[in-house]
Structure 1
């Protein structure tokens, strides 16, 4: 926890716990249990009656639980474990009809878009596709046989998207979404690339719905 919680010079466990609670979802997840364990530790170390008599001692179940939590701190669940993968991404000149085939088959709603130089351009969402169709609806028919992805991208509209590397933890992703939320911004997607480079090939995408489905509090 000392390595995780920055901005404090204290090694006191409870101080680290309450400092980390503010900024780290992993600490928040186990705050109550960790606080109880800290009380148990203090009772064992500082409140024994004599050298051979302790007023409290941990049950084997408590020790095993502490070890479980310790393992999660040492090696937390990765973001890739809940990410949509592989990622369907498109170039600006790709056809809308190909995107629709993927939506129909997989129910995906967000697609990274790249230019001819493999640089990230924008995020295409199902909302934009529907809005485009509504705008071009005529005589109960929408003609999109030759429509390209770049025609669907709304000029001046930039969705909030961020990038992380393949080793990012699930809890880091939670913190990113929460950080944007506290700033009054909606993070639409976290795109995972090998090194976290925004122009790297996407190997996973996480949306707010993915976090809900993962149900990390259970």
Structure 2
């Protein structure tokens, strides 16, 4: 067996043992069934890698069960497969959390902030997300994209007057689907990646200690932070 095949099998075996212990699976349960059951569990990092894991299992089977001789196997994993197997193993067994990587100061704004001030923040500080509150109670998230949609509706007659408009006016015309989601500080980055893939139009994930909307903001994740684009 070549070095890549040996490294691949060692990484696969460590992950298989870990997953079976997580599920408390009987010894005779197959790897594919373990993966499928864990993928159905809420917030399981396995769900993110389910398809890859099932493909890796096929490669493992080819290496282990289709050997022509002791030192010769039909399927020798390439560098990509070995690297991917190692990445998945580490991501599941030691998943990176949203903090500290995405910890940052996030400014919240009261609902009565004038739209003109929001425009000024965009121009001066390049803000693109505006969490809006009413005395500590979270009301919604205004984004540059959302402002664009609102402005288009407001100037249907060719004129846009924002002199008396506030953030509350923008929130009065919300998107049909919330454009934000909250997560707690121990949420895995893999789970957030899954949200950006599957939940549309998700424009930001807001981090609080317990994932509650009225908690202190500890950070924010945007699609571009994870190289996702709508």
- TM class by shorter-chain length? 0.5 to 0.7
Q: What does residue range 69-88 of structure 1 map to in structure 2 within 5 Å? A: 69-80=88-99, 83=102, 85-88=104-107
Partner of 1:174: 193
Which 10-residue stretch deviates more, 18-27 or 133-142?
133-142
Equivalent residue, structure 2, for 1:90: 109
**Is the Cα–Cα contact under 8 Å of residues 32 and 54 in structure 2 kept in the other structure?**
no
Deviations 1:112-168 (A, max 9, x none): 21111x111112122442344445559987554554211222256554232111121
TM-score scaled by length of structure 2? 0.62
Per-residue deviation, residues 78-112 of structure 1 (Å, max 9, x unmatched): 33577584323311122323322332255443322
Q: Which range moves more in the overlay, 20-29 or 104-113?
A: 20-29
Distance change (3 Å), C-alpha of 1:158 and 1:42: same
- Do the aligned partners of 1:21 and 1:28 also contact (CA within 8 Å) in 2? no
The answer to whether the aligner puts 1:153 opposite 2:171 as a matched pair is yes
Check whether the contact 2:203–2:223 (CA below 8 A) recurs between aligned residues.
Answer: yes
Unaligned runs of 5+ in 2: 1-18, 41-45
| Partner of residue 138 from structure 2, selected from 120, 129, 140 | 120
**In structure 1, which of residues 186, 199, 204 is the aligned counterpart of residue 219 of structure 2?**
204
Residues 1-218 of structure 1 correspond to what in structure 2 (within 5 A)? 1-2=19-20, 11-17=29-35, 24-42=47-65, 53=70, 56=73, 66-80=85-99, 83=102, 85-105=104-124, 107-116=126-135, 118-134=136-152, 143-144=161-162, 147-155=165-173, 157=175, 159-160=177-178, 161-180=180-199, 186-211=201-226, 213=227
CA RMSD of aligned residues (A): 4.2
SS for the counterpart of 2:211 is coil
CA distance in 2, matches of 1:105, 1:207: 20
Flag structure 1 segments of 5+ consecutive residues without an equivalent: none
Aligned residues: 201
| Structure 1 residues 192 and 36: alpha-carbon distance in aligned structure 2, compared to 1, 3 A threshold | same
In the TM superposition, what is the alpha-carbon distance from 1:198 to its structure 2 partner?
A: 1.5
